[in-house]
Amino acid sequence: MTRPAIWGALLAAGLGANVGLHRLRGMRELPAGIFSLWDYGRAGDSQGPRAAPLDIGRVLQVGAGAVGCALDFFLSFLGIGGQWQIVDGDQVDVTNLNRQFLFIARDAGFPAGQPANKASRVAALLGLPAGASPAMYGDDLAVVNGSYDVVLALANDNGVRSFLQGRQPTILLHATTSPNWQAQLHRHAAGHDDCIDCRLPAGTPRFTCATEDVETDTGEHFDAAVPPLSGMAGLLLAAELAKLQAGALLETPHNYTAVELFGPQPVVRRYVRKCREGCRVRLPAATRAVVDADSRFRHLDPEIAVRD
């Protein structure tokens, strides 16, 4: 497969998996039309740049669960440059295998052996054995004290999203799934978008990630994994990073994208989210300019650019 075909192939695989799942649920329709990952999965033939290894500098990725490992799986087809730091203190468990499709049974210690740490397994796949921190964010001071160009908030335990926003990064991105069959992409660029605290306030109910109630032929109900959701979220984030590399991250004001996969035909919705009135999570531009002084993308913050 040539590099130019990779992005389209990944999107086609995700939509195809979604169709296969819906066939098991009794739906027989198929997606109609051409869909563009560069345009967030909407119908159309928008073309992005040629697929190329991703080099966006120093990346802090916190979380290698369903969405995080999907992102890394897709990036393994492209290759990455720069320096990546992947942080996750969890080990691979057999219950992860149904929707964290980077991992296989051996990673969970089956049939005999020790389960692998998620961050270490992902870093090894990407050829970054020194870029793994098998600890929870905050427990590894070398990670906390490091400098990064991009922060990816792909974990939600112990208030980690708020801690990452507290780093005052110029570029913070994350992706999630929702209980109503949505893959969601979130952009938080300083000077343009809301903060992650306003987007997902503390106390927001935490839903089981990417599952759906399924009824078997015998009438039994159980929670089944929905891998296309976490996979699509990871793919949207991978494409967003490609936009950042291509200088196209801020081409539109929309900072929230939801791809609904409740049926075989994807439905894409894009919105502009803003911070609540009086929000003080983001520090003044003068302070951000110091805190994120050596960021590769600090010029994207218009408030800092004016000062410079």
Whole-angstrom distance, CA of residue 225 vs CA of residue 221: 13
Judged by average pLDDT, the poorest of 79-88, 217-226, 234-243 is: 217-226
Sheet with 256-260: strands ordered across: 132-133, 83-87, 58-62, 150-153, 171-178, 182-189, 256-260, 267-271
State the chain's mean pLDDT as an integer.
88
pTM of the model: 0.91
For residue range 13-40, list pLDDT tens digits in order: 999 999 988 888 888 888 888 999 999 9
- Residue where the block lists tokens 């759906």: 212
The token duo for 233 is 């979220």
For 177-185, what is the mean pLDDT?
90
Is residue 227 very low, low, confident or very high in pLDDT (cuts 50, 70, 90)? confident
Q: Measuring CA to CA, which residue among 46, 146, 143, 127 is closest to residue 89? A: 143
173 pairs with which residues across the strands?
A: 152, 187
**289 to each of 54, 166, 170, how far by Cα in Å?**
26, 14, 9
Cα 289 from chain centroid (whole Å): 26
- Tell whether the model's pLDDT for residue 287 goes beyond 80: yes
Whole-angstrom distance, CA of residue 62 vs CA of residue 87: 5
Task: Confirm if 54 and 80 have CB atoms less than 8 A apart.
Answer: yes
For 169-197, what is the mean pLDDT?
95
Fold annotation for 52-258+271-307: Rossmann fold (3.40.50)
- Tell whether the model's pLDDT for residue 221 goes beyond 50: no
**306 to each of 57, 71, 222, 301, how far by Cα in Å?**
23, 34, 55, 9
Residue spans of the domains in the chain: they are 52-258+271-307
Whole-angstrom distance, CA of residue 33 vs CA of residue 67: 27
- Tell whether the model's pLDDT for residue 194 goes beyond 60: yes
